[in-house]
Amino acid sequence: METVKLSQIVMKWFPDMMPSLKQQELNAVIVLRDGLRILEPEDAMEIIQHSICENQSQQFMQ
């Protein structure tokens, strides 16, 4: 297991998305079962999408 920030995933696979994401989203802590080095691009995108949705849900609930 490896714990990383969403920003690390974004920088590795989709750095062009960095300006589009909020700092709160980029600071989200992600636990990867098999680690960052074997993360595939499609899995990275799924994690990014889920993190954005989770952040929006939390903001909506406040």
Q: What is the pTM of this model?
A: 0.87
Tokens read off for 45: 């995108």
> Which pLDDT belongs to residue 3?
98
> Which pLDDT belongs to residue 61?
64
d(CA 27, CA 11): 12
pLDDT tens for the chain, 62 residues: list them.
Answer: 999 999 999 999 999 999 999 999 999 999 999 999 999 999 999 999 999 998 877 766 66
> Which pLDDT belongs to residue 13?
97
> Which pLDDT belongs to residue 59?
67
Rg of the chain over Cα atoms, rounded to whole angstroms, equals 11
What is the total count of domains within the chain? 1
Enclosing domain of residue 14: 2-61
